[in-house]
């Protein structure tokens, strides 16, 4: 087959954080497939067709990309951040596994990107400098009971934690429950960072403690980073630095 699929991460928002590899793939593509706001980040040009779709049709979008590649198109499937972190890479492979056998001969490549989690951690300092985990707080594709179980175990294991999709208009109670669980398991002075619109013009980073955190500090553009018990702040005249030491005594 002459067509291909490249599953690409567009980074957290700033164009400077899009990798050269992804930029090259977009320049070679005949078609770009993705969620509406992510496709909007791709500049139109002659010979390129943009296929934007809604947020909850990942499998349909993936099947469309594979169908076009099987027909000889050069297709880039775009995600924000990294396509392998709560994004389109898994959806494409799910469609591949369940699709026609001939799709397995398509040239498919995953092109990594900078996640919102890593961009947020870099802005703050190094809060993920030791062992950490990442949890998607959306219960669209898994039950809340599983999210709660993982939250409790991660807190008990004293991981630093990064949370994606913390609070939407349709399920605002999720982050309320998350704070309750963390307060059950962690000390009130545990550091928590609310990192909104990282790398974009309206970026805002708030450093607070678990005792002072409130649900209205987050929305779906916010990545939340909860420190471990070892995470600390270096105060200075410029912005403070939050980091987790590399060692545990």
Average pLDDT in the 183-197 region?
96
* Residue 97: strand, helix, or coil: helix
192 and 121 in a common domain: yes
pLDDT band for 1, please (50, 70, 90 cuts): low
Q: What are phi and psi of 226, to 5 degrees?
A: -105, 125
Query: What is the model's pLDDT at position 90?
Result: 97
- Full residue range of the structural domain in which residue 238 is found: 117-243
135 and 83 in a common domain: no
Query: What is the model's pLDDT at position 174?
Result: 85
Cα 180 from Cα 13, distance rounded (Å): 31
Average pLDDT in the 112-131 region?
96
51 lies in some domain: yes
Cα 48 from Cα 90, distance rounded (Å): 25
Cα 176 from Cα 165, distance rounded (Å): 13
47 and 14 in a common domain: yes
Query: What is the model's pLDDT at position 187?
Result: 97
134 and 62 in a common domain: no
98 and 158 in a common domain: no
71 and 95 in a common domain: yes
Cβ atoms of 58 and 91 closer than 8 Å? yes
43 and 13 in a common domain: yes
122 and 239 in a common domain: yes
Closest CA to 177 of 147, 219, 140, 217: 147
Which H or E run contains 51? strand 49-53
First to last CA, the chain: 55
CATH code: domain of residue 217:
3.30.950.10
**Average pLDDT across the chain, whole number:** 95
For strand 191-196 and strand 222-226, is the pairing parallel, antiparallel, or unpaired? antiparallel
- Compute the half-sphere exposure of residue 210: CA atoms within 13 Å on the CB side of its CA: 23
248 lies in some domain: no
Output the pTM of the full model: 0.91
CATH code: domain of residue 41:
3.40.1010.10
Cβ atoms of 76 and 29 closer than 8 Å? yes
pLDDT band for 220, please (50, 70, 90 cuts): confident
Place of tokens 């990107």: 113
Q: In the listed set 114, 142, 160, which residue is the last one of a domain according to the structure?
A: 114
Q: What are phi and psi of 15, to 5 degrees?
A: -60, -25
Q: In the listed set 79, 94, 114, which residue is the last one of a domain according to the structure?
A: 114
69 and 37 in a common domain: yes
Q: What does each C-alpha distance from 223 to 137, 161, 165, 191 come to in angstroms?
A: 11, 10, 7, 14
pLDDT band for 55, please (50, 70, 90 cuts): confident
Cα 109 from Cα 7, distance rounded (Å): 6
Place of tokens 């198109």: 73
133 and 61 in a common domain: no
Which tokens is 246 given?
A: 């590399």
pLDDT band for 171, please (50, 70, 90 cuts): confident
147 and 126 in a common domain: yes
206 lies in some domain: yes
Percent of the chain clearing pLDDT 70 (strictly above): 99
95 and 12 in a common domain: yes
Number of compact structural domains in the chain: 2
């Amino acid at each position: 087959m002459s067509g291909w699929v490249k599953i690409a991460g567009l980074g957290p928002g700033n164009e400077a954080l899009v990798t050269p590899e992804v930029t090259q793939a977009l320049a070679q593509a005949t078609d770009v497939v993705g969620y509406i706001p992510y496709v909007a980040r791709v500049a139109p040009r002659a010979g390129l067709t943009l296929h934007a779709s809604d947020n909850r049709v990942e499998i349909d979008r993936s099947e469309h990309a594979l169908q076009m590649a099987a027909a000889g198109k050069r297709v880039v499937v775009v995600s924000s951040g990294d396509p392998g972190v709560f994004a389109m890479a898994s959806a494409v492979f799910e469609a591949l596994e369940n699709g026609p056998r001939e799709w397995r001969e398509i040239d498919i490549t995953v092109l990594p990107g900078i996640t919102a989690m890593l961009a947020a951690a870099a802005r703050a300092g190094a809060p993920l400098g030791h062992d950490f985990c990442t949890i998607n707080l959306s219960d669209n594709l898994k039950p809340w009971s599983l999210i709660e179980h993982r939250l409790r175990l991660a807190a008990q294991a004293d991981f630093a934690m990064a949370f994606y999709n913390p609070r939407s208009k349709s399920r605002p109670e999720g982050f309320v429950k998350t704070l309750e669980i963390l307060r059950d398991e962690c000390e009130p002075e545990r550091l928590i960072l609310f990192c909104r619109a990282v790398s974009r013009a309206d970026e805002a980073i708030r450093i607070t403690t678990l005792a002072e955190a409130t649900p209205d500090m987050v929305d779906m553009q916010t990545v939340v980073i909860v420190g471990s018990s070892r995470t600390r702040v270096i105060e200075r005249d410029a912005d403070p630095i939050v980091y987790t030491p590399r060692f545990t005594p």
